[in-house]
Structure 1
Amino acid sequence: MSDKRVPSMTPPNKAYPREELEEMMQKWLAANVEAEKAGDWPTYLGPMYTEDAVYSWNIGPNEDFVAEGRSEICDIALGFQMHGFEEWEYPYHDIIIDEKRGTVIGFWKQLAPYRRKDGSRFEIAGIGGSWFEYAGNYQWHWQRDFFDFGNAKDCFFQLAGAGALEPVVKKKIHQQAKGALLPGHRKLREEPSRWEKARNAMAMVKIAMTGR
């Protein structure tokens, strides 16, 4: 288990002109559109991070993904992590800008290119988005993504049942099922022992069965 922890996300309260932050978001949104068209996120988004930027997100109660530095962001966050999702779309639908603190929150969706038999599109339900800290010069200093982990798991179960998962995504899932940490993934604390897991499970079963 890595002894590293997610770097502090405390905003530095550094103000920037609102016009500059609005222009940054226009550049960012345009770059995202081009990245999706090309299926190439490092080329279009990589230059929009500082050399020491941090990009992270949570993966359940005891695991985070963290890429430290532009190189890792391009290689892992925008590279490895996006393999198998080249046809997905991530449209932004709302933006909140705080020019007094130099931060931005963008809300987006995660839309798969596959459809159910009824014609509806597979997507990860719930709220998804990114929290950014601006560093000036039209670059981000850090980015923290958030999404509904339970809905993400459910979507992938549905895609698996529909036979719509790309081979590279299946390989990643297989590695994780064997207990391997994918590049950039970090455990937040020691895993509970088998006895603790069994105790917790039995306690929940008791509550479900008896209400106590």
Structure 2
Amino acid sequence: MRSPRPYSPATGPGQSLTERRKAATQLDIARAACALFAEHGPDGTTAEDIARRAGVALRTFYRYFRSKQDAVAPLLAGGGDAWRALLEAEEPGVALGPAIERAITSSLTLPDGEEGLEWTRGLLRASADDPALRAVWFQVNQDSEERLVPVLARLAGDSADPLEIRLLAAAATDAIRVSLEVWSAGDAPQRGPGSPAELAVRCLRELTGGMAVLRRG
């Protein structure tokens, strides 16, 4: 999903130094790919260019990514990681609708000076003419939706209908996806009317208005 906020590799106490270095290298490559796509477009960028910009060998690039388009996945996935983490911090039994809206709004409202949303805008615009880049975007969103299901299930409790939880995960993920696609196609600002956060909350309410799981709690 993706990804409104630049991907930040997890560095929890259970992660080894090797895992942290791997995540940092992936992020360096992803940032290099994003910068080169913005400068030259996907067609004008090669895997060799990305590896050179990231300061790694070409074999290192292919150790982590299958193609130049795959290299941007960590950046696109960062927003989903950020807002799922906010939901994971909520306590079971919380009113799901407001909790989801809080997480979406917070993750799509970046501090001044952060470029994550503009990177996403550039990548989504580039994907209009690049089917492989679009495929990466859709896969990121699919992965994010699947990871969201257990988070929502824990918050909703054992009595929640699994079908409703799946539908809610799909609706929340699509609300963010559609909002970013619409925003990226225009010139609206990062905050205020027409911003990703405003559009995403609007989409979420439209998609989930009849869901019983949101009327409980």
TM-score normalised according to structure 1 size: 0.26
Structure number with larger C-alpha Rg: 1
* Structure of higher RCO (CA pairs closer than 8 Å, 6+ residues apart): 2
TM-score normalised according to structure 2 size: 0.26
Structure ranking higher in helix proportion: 2
